[in-house]
């Protein structure tokens, strides 16, 4: 099973790196970019198992380590399907 996890800054949390990337894009002549937010993307290969158990485990991984939920949110995809 393959999981894909996106970790992004919550709304309202300042993102100075996103801002710097935004400026660099403007400097390269890419007009019309209104905002840039930087996040992280992780791919996990999981041993085959019950889907519900895998989802539960992935949520725990995000809560305990992969995201800092004070400032970050996470979105999980398992075998191409979003996990609620």
> Of the ranges 25-33, 49-57, 65-73, 76-84, which one interacts with another protein (CB under 8 A)?
65-73
Query: Is 20 an interacting residue with respect to another protein (CB under 8 A)?
Result: yes
User: What are the CA-CA distances from residue 11 to residues 1, 3, 17, 37, 69 (Å)?
Assistant: 31, 24, 15, 10, 12
Three-state DSSP class for 73?
Answer: strand
Alpha carbons 46 and 81: distance in angstroms, whole number: 15
Exactly one of 28, 47, 65, 82 binds another protein (CB under 8 A); that residue is 65
> For another protein, which is the closer residue by CB, 15 or 51?
15
Q: Which residues bind another protein (CB under 8 A)?
A: 13-14, 16-17, 20, 40, 64-66, 68, 70-71
């Amino acid at each position: 099973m393959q999981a894909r996890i996106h970790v992004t800054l919550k709304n309202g949390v300042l993102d100075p790196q996103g801002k710097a990337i935004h400026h660099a894009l403007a400097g390269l002549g890419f007009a019309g970019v209104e905002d840039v937010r930087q996040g992280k993307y992780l791919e996990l290969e999981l041993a085959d198992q019950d889907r519900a158990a895998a989802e539960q485990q992935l949520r725990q991984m995000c809560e305990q380590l992969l995201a800092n939920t004070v400032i970050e949110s996470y979105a999980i995809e398992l075998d191409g399907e979003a996990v609620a």
